[in-house]
Amino acid sequence: MNATMTLAELATTHPGASRVFHRHGLDFCCGGRRPLAEVCDEQGISAEDLVREIEAESATAGDRTRWDARPLPDLIQHIVTVYHARLRAELPELVALAERVESRHGSKPSCPHGLAAHLIETGDHAFAHMAKEEQVLFPMLLAGGAALASGPIRQMEIEHDDHAANLARTRALTGNFVPPAEACPTWRALYVRLDALEAELMEHIHLENHVLFPRALRAES
């Protein structure tokens, strides 16, 4: 492992890398094709220190599945049954929490005004995106139709960029998930869960952009 590797390569091959990247606010999903050294230089972070942090995190991460080495049907099933299912379950609950916080604390300047509406819009886009994957792209790949997949894959990648923009908007509305001193327990729980949702969605997009889609396109050639 070294700083010439891309963020995507590190997140794929080292089990602790994605957690380290999330802690430092580094985009390893939609921006994951950039070398670690370049990203660290841009952010004013020591690449050598980050490599050591990834090594330490990976040493305690346990035995995590290397999805780049698993059969494609297993990877697709994992994406659908874990990431898609959890996103469908979690987003409506986060909307309900955001609505509660905004209704009870709307008079406070620190209240995340507009967060519930933003999460509803985010969910609408995410659910439509996942439906296209489950009903069109994934069946195409499972049926051996990789030769027809380049167009749908490119569309999914464009929509992933939209998801990343929605995550950035969520962070802006919540002050990077840092609750103000006057935040009630519901408010604090909302921010904790939004932070966890962001980490999981980035891992989800990473698996598709940098593991599933390249493997599907290699099968085409």
Judge if pTM exceeds 0.75: yes
Query: Quick one: what percent of the chain has pLDDT higher than 90?
Result: 71
Distance CA 73, CA 142 (A): 7
Distance CA 94, CA 193 (A): 8
The count of domains in the chain is 2
pLDDT value at position 61? 63
Task: Tell me the average pLDDT across 8-31.
Answer: 86
Whether 89 maps to a domain, the answer reads yes
Distance CA 114, CA 17 (A): 33
The predicted-structure confidence for 203-217, as pLDDT tens digits, reads as follows: 999 999 999 999 888
Could you tell me if 54 and 77 lie in one domain?
no
Q: Dmax over Cα atoms in the chain, in whole Å? A: 58
Whether 93 maps to a domain, the answer reads yes
Whether 66 maps to a domain, the answer reads no
Could you tell me if 78 and 168 lie in one domain?
yes
Tell me which of 46 and 62 has the higher pLDDT.
46
Whether 139 maps to a domain, the answer reads yes
Whether 2 maps to a domain, the answer reads no
Could you tell me if 24 and 96 lie in one domain?
no
The predicted-structure confidence for 62-105, as pLDDT tens digits, reads as follows: 567 788 888 999 999 999 999 999 999 999 999 999 999 999 99
Task: Tell me the average pLDDT across 182-186.
Answer: 94
Could you tell me if 13 and 106 lie in one domain?
no
Could you tell me if 100 and 196 lie in one domain?
yes
pLDDT value at position 169? 96
Q: What is the distance between the terminal CA atoms of the chain, rounded to a whole angstrom?
A: 29
The predicted-structure confidence for 101-155, as pLDDT tens digits, reads as follows: 999 999 999 999 999 999 999 999 999 999 999 999 999 999 888 788 889 999 9
Could you tell me the residue range of the domain that residue 210 belongs to? 72-220
Torsion angles phi and psi, residue 76, rounded to 5: -65, -45
Whether 95 maps to a domain, the answer reads yes
Contact 3, 37 (CB under 8 A): yes
CB atoms within 10 A of CB 87: 19
Long-range contacts of 94-98 (CB under 8 A, 24+ apart): 94/119, 94/190, 94/193, 94/194, 94/197, 95/119, 95/120, 95/123, 97/186, 97/189, 97/190, 97/193, 98/190
Distance CA 105, CA 117 (A): 16
Which residue in the block uniquely carries the two structure tokens 């380049």? 150
Could you tell me if 128 and 25 lie in one domain?
no
Residue 221 reports pLDDT greater than 70: no
Task: Tell me the average pLDDT across 21-44.
Answer: 89
Task: Tell me the average pLDDT across 19-38.
Answer: 88
pLDDT value at position 151? 92
